[in-house]
Amino acid sequence: MDQIKTVSLIETPFDLKDREVMCYPYFITAIQVAMPRPFLKPRLAYTVVTTYLVKGIPARANMFPGTTEIEIGNTALVPSLLSREEATKKARKLALKWAMYKFHLFRTPKIDIVKVEEAYKAFFFAEINKERILVDSVKGLEDVKLTKK
């Protein structure tokens, strides 16, 4: 029996009502990086890292996305294979790599987690050119190739 669960969904411009939806788990982390400087206050930089909880891939994001609460069946949710602790560790590591590259640091910065949220990203099926394709609800069709080979 399919149980209904309330989850956070990354906001989308698409209307997902009456669509066949699959939701993939992400762990979103807002990070503050304090970089030490001699004789000055530390330089502060902020970044957001989203970690895909199925494959464990972290990626920097432009901003902390907005989310909405939805009720969805358990069968539409892809189970996560990575724990929150592992996702936080990967996000910290990526933030450190980004800071070392971006600011050419010679000393290890202090990395603080400012905000975290576990959210889902929805994908749905659409029919285009008589083909059934899977559409990302955040990016839309920009990554989908619509031409046949």
For the segment 57-97, what is each residue's pLDDT rounded down to a tens digit? 999 999 999 999 999 999 999 999 999 999 999 999 999 99
| pLDDT over 60 (residue 143) | no
Mean pLDDT of the chain: 90
> Could you tell me which residues are beta bridge partners of residue 48?
30, 61
What's the whole-model pTM score? 0.86
CB 140 within 8 A of CB 45: no
Dist CA 105 CA 109 (whole Å): 8
CA angle, corner 145, sides to 140 and 148, nearest 5? Answer: 145
